[in-house]
């Protein structure tokens, strides 16, 4: 589990993973995909959606100490847009293919993975990286939302589940005595 820095830490982890797996590729974390200039292949990594993970909605309170419980963490799924850039269309397609291969070969990131951002070192769940195919209409709508960018070759991935610890604590008392009664049912 992590604190509020987990979202940025997952982005840094994804960036580090792709750069480690694809020699010579620079991954740029961006506010929104914009036209990147230059002759070297590059990949834009853009977090375009954060959503609650519905499967973590009913997690139990967590034991912190013998007399203290913490509210359940909440889970998030992060959605990323990967957009390749390069000197020509063939290089753009190669760049996207290499990035997709890297993510395909590393669908799980566990706490002992060296690319994992230090902020996530205490996580108990593994990060799952899954390709998400947006229907063409949704992809075009996503690109229309960018003020200074026109549609480009790109793909989307979902990273789940990021658990963020709650800071709400409750003091509790240990059970001192158990009372069990037996009697006829009424």
* Band of pLDDT at residue 36, cut at 50, 70 and 90: low
- The number of residues in the chain equals 186
CATH number of the domain residue 158 falls in? 3.30.2000.10
pLDDT at 1: 57
Residue 59 CA to residue 75 CA, distance in Å, equals: 10
- Answer whether residue 186 is part of any domain: no
- 180 occurs within a structural domain: no
- With respect to residue 94, please indicate whether it lies within any of the assigned structural domains: yes
Residue 47 has pLDDT above 60, yes or no: yes
Residue 156: the pLDDT is 97
Most confident among 84-88, 103-107, 139-143 (mean pLDDT) = 103-107
pLDDT in tens, 154-172: 999 999 988 888 778 788 8
Domain containing residue 130: 6-169
Residue 78: other Cβ atoms inside 10 A: 23
Mean pLDDT of the chain: 89
Distances (CA, A) of 99 to 19, 74, 116: 9, 29, 17
In a domain, 184, yes or no: no
**pLDDT (0 to 100) of residue 33:** 74
Closest CA to 113 of 3, 9, 25: 9
Report the number of distinct structural domains present in the chain: 1
Measured distance CA(168)–CA(23) in Å, rounded: 44
Banded model confidence at residue 107, pLDDT cuts 50, 70, 90: very high
CA 11/CA 22 separation, integer angstroms: 17
Average pLDDT score over residue span 27-45: 83
How do residues 51-95 score in pLDDT, each as one tens digit?
Answer: 999 988 888 877 778 788 877 888 999 999 999 999 999 999 999
100 is a domain residue: yes
Query: Tokens at residue 29, please?
Result: 């974390």
Residue 179: inside a domain? no
Average the pLDDT over 32-55 and give the result.
Answer: 86
Q: Compute the 3-state secondary structure of the chain and give helix, strand, coil in percent, each to the nearest 5.
A: 25, 30, 45
Residue 51 lies in a domain: yes
The answer to whether position 92 is within a domain reads yes
Query: pLDDT tens across 111-129, in order?
Result: 888 898 888 887 778 999 9
């Amino acid at each position: 589990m992590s604190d509020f820095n987990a979202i940025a830490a997952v982005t840094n982890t994804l960036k580090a993973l792709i750069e480690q797996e694809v020699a010579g590729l620079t991954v740029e974390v961006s506010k929104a995909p914009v036209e990147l200039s230059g002759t070297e292949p590059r990949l834009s990594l853009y977090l375009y959606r954060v959503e609650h993970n519905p499967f973590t909605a009913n997690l139990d309170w967590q034991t912190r100490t013998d007399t203290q419980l913490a509210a359940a963490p909440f889970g998030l799924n992060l959605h990323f847009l990967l957009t390749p850039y390069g000197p020509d269309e063939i290089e753009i397609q190669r760049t996207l293919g290499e990035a997709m291969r890297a993510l395909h070969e590393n669908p799980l990131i566990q706490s002992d993975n060296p690319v994992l951002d230090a902020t996530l070192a205490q996580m108990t769940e593994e990060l799952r990286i899954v390709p998400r195919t947006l229907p063409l209409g949704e992809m075009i709508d996503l690109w229309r939302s960018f003020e200074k960018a026109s549609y480009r070759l790109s793909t989307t991935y979902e990273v789940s589940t990021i658990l963020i610890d709650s800071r709400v604590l409750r003091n509790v008392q240990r059970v001192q005595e158990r009372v069990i009664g037996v009697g006829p049912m009424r």
